Chains A and B, each alone.
Chain A
């Protein structure tokens, strides 16, 4: 029952490759047998209390259901707590992780399970523009969706081998913990609580979002701090209101709010002039703006008042799976840094002299094999939808939702997207 800190990870014997010592892996408890098991049920129950906030957009359905869910859940929590206590009392000793002192083995139990199943089970949103939505034929599109496809292409060699599990805000972490999905990529914010109390691995930030504002151009405002005295239409049932209150308090400004149940109502009120603007996550603001009668009358202000780093969640306990997911994200960023695109990836694999490109595409270094995959894993992942920049452009670029890249730009271009070096 000892908890072990595993020794330095997969350092190459030749010494040419150093184990990455990134922020994503410091101490890990290894427990292969318990891996597929359920984690502490109390931790899981605490997931119920999570605010259903932080989605790129609160869908009309989510806002109604969100409200009903919250009320219902509050009523249920008493019963849940009792059940969990009973369960904990009877089953906890058996469920507590038993650790084994040994290094990380690749590809690890999650990948083995995925290969055995022949399908990646990927948790996505039930629908939010840009992240996950269905086209007329029912095919999924979105940046989260393409990450799932890239993982499937990397691990299974076929981007179509994905079982889509659309998850609601209330259920998303439970389905991850219960093993129903292998990975959750559902515009979910990475937070302390989710990492520590829910016991999830927060692998990487795929999208930096935040609460932003869409306001009437007539206000003549260009920064959020200038919003003093304005009235903003807000959807209830999330942390939007709280963020505004916190922001106003810390900046000594006054921002009035007008509350609505659904985004459509709020937008209609805004267009009717009942308020000066609308607030939501930056990701959905852009989409919202495109639905207005006169989009050119409205402007999305620069800056945000809250941090919503959206990204990849995995079940704790399988460090090798976490590494594969992290390096896939890092690989997509590295591809953009080094100019590898969907179109030229095949060609660069043989022609490129850049050592980073050669390692990334599997020409040298056997990086894929070291992760328990094959060396062309990143090549296939990149060929799904291109590098990170191409993915962003497809779903948020000028031809799509038209959201400036801002924080999601590469670190070399003033953004925050920074991949650990591919060596």
Chain B
């Protein structure tokens, strides 16, 4: 306690800074609490029901399902629930299960994407087809993030090795790919996918907007993944490869079984960083006409019954995104402990 006090008021400068910050909190927090809680309205059918000086949470409540599922048909929403719950269970299993973590991870990376895609799109096994245009809300952010990570991770690994390859063609291809994607703004690339792609496609061929967005995001993130993993690869001493080769391992096997696992362990913090970033970047897909959480919120602000409630909508988005990113970040920390990258630095 005294240590804290000393840190806050130890010197005159610190004391002044502390008081200024407290003053700012005093100015900002009570009005916010008043707006968000004391004067807030929780029930109502339209904005008219809301108190003028408080938050209109009735808006968020009325539209909650829309924010989570988008226009996914009401009677089919259980399919989204199944996929999201399976994702959560498998992810928890891969992190915390006392045994069978590998199985969980394997299912997460193979069965879930395929099964999930079948379940969500429908059209087979008596499931009603649901157009991707009707997917939306938070579900869309989660789905896009998951698929993009799944695609970009292996591509990233390949590019990271490719960049270190001794074959000039492979090396230059990898370098070009990485630099081009890293060097272009995501918004511009999404626009290219939206506006330029239809021009280059043959007549009558249209590519699903969701597919466009996922492809663009995956390729974009692969470049970042590649560089993060390359950082990990560089952290592995050359002796590891040489030792593996001396044991008679094939070159590829040595990389895959000795170098890569250690490199991935080093790269985990960077990869988690990319995933969090990607999750937030998925909100950009609203510009290609997909209604992710931000898209749905912006859309909802245009309902004549709920005009002028931007503060409530955006506050809700901030809270939801904060907790979602916190979850990813916590999962990352658990992963680090599991693989021991924090405690057992191989370069020690």
Contacts and interface: CB of A to CB of B under 8 A. Distances in A.
Interface of A: 36-38, 41, 44, 48, 57, 59-61, 65, 68-69, 72-73, 75-76, 80, 83-84, 87, 126-130, 132-138, 141, 163-168, 170-171, 174-175, 177-180, 262, 264, 267, 287-288, 290-291, 293, 395, 400-401
A80 B305 CA distance: 41
A126 B302 CA distance: 9
Contacts of A73: 191
A74 to B, nearest CB: 11
Interface string B178-209: 00000001011001101110111101101000
6 contacts: A65-B287, A84-B199, A129-B303, A174-B199, A178-B201, A400-B304
Contacts of A171: 194-195, 288-289
B66 A138 contact: yes
Contact of B289 (A38, A134, A166, A264): A166
Contacts of B305: 135
Given A80-B196, A135-B303, A168-B288, 12 more contacts: A38-B199, A65-B286, A65-B287, A69-B191, A129-B302, A133-B303, A134-B303, A164-B133, A171-B194, A174-B199, A179-B204, A290-B308
A128 B300 CA distance: 10
B304 A129 contact: yes
Interface stretch (B80-88, B291-299, B337-345): B291-299
A61 B308 CA distance: 13
A180 B206 CA distance: 7
B243 interface: no
Interface in B294-323: 294-295, 298-305, 307-308, 310-311
B291 A166 contact: yes
Contact of B304 (A130, A167, A267): A130
B192 A76 contact: yes
A80 B133 CA distance: 27
A36 B295 contact: no
Of the listed residues B71, B299, B302, B310, the one surrounded by the most CB atoms of chain A closer than 10 A to its CB is B302
Contacts of B299: 126-127, 133-134, 166
Contact of B191 (A76, A138, A175, A177): A76
Contacts of A166: 289, 291, 299
A180 B198 contact: yes
The 5 closest A-B pairs by CB, nearest first: A291-B308, A127-B302, A178-B198, A61-B298, A138-B71
A127 B289 CA distance: 11
A165 B204 contact: no
Among A38, A44, A262, the most chain B Cβ lie within 10 Å of the Cβ of A38
B185 A175 contact: no
A179 B308 contact: no
A339 to B, nearest CB: 27
B62 to A, nearest CB: 5
A163 B288 CA distance: 16
B204 A137 contact: no
Contacts of B304: 129-130, 133, 287, 290, 395, 400-401
Given A73-B191, A163-B131, A291-B307, A138 B70 contact: yes
A167 B199 contact: no
A17 B66 CA distance: 50
Contact of A129 (B133, B289, B295, B307): B307
B47 interface: yes
Nearest to B206: A180
Contacts of B295: 61, 126
B298 A127 contact: yes
A178 B303 contact: no
A134 B300 contact: yes
A133 B52 CA distance: 23
A174 B302 contact: no
A44 B201 CA distance: 14
A37 to B, nearest CB: 5
B74 interface: yes
B280 interface: no
Contacts of A395: 304
Contacts of A130: 304
A87 B71 contact: no
B287 A76 contact: no
A61 B185 contact: no
Contact of B71 (A134, A167, A168, A179): A134
A59 B294 CA distance: 13
A293 B53 CA distance: 9
B171 interface: no
A168 B192 contact: no
A267 B71 contact: no
A177 B206 CA distance: 12
Given A76-B192, A126-B299, A165 B294 contact: no
B63 interface: yes
A79 to B, nearest CB: 8
Nearest to B64: A136
A136 B62 CA distance: 6
A99 B287 CA distance: 37
Interface string B256-291: 000000000000000000000000000000111101
Contacts of B66: 134, 136-138
Contacts of A170: 191, 194-195, 287
A183 to B, nearest CB: 16
B11 to A, nearest CB: 40
A128 B299 CA distance: 8
A129 B299 CA distance: 10
Contact of B307 (A38, A41, A68, A290): A290
B294 to A, nearest CB: 7
A304 to B, nearest CB: 21
A171 B286 CA distance: 12
B289 A287 contact: no
Interface in B37-63: 47, 52, 62-63
Nearest to A293: B52
A162 B294 CA distance: 24
A137 B63 CA distance: 7
A133 B302 contact: yes
A295 to B, nearest CB: 11
Contacts of A75: 188
Contact of A38 (B63, B187, B203, B291): B203
B308 A264 contact: yes
A126 B71 CA distance: 13
A227 B188 CA distance: 41
Contacts of B307: 129, 287-288, 290-291
A163 B47 CA distance: 29
A72 B204 contact: no
Contacts of A38: 198-199, 203
Specify which of B133, B196, B298 lies most central, judged by the most chain A CB atoms within 10 Å of its CB: B196
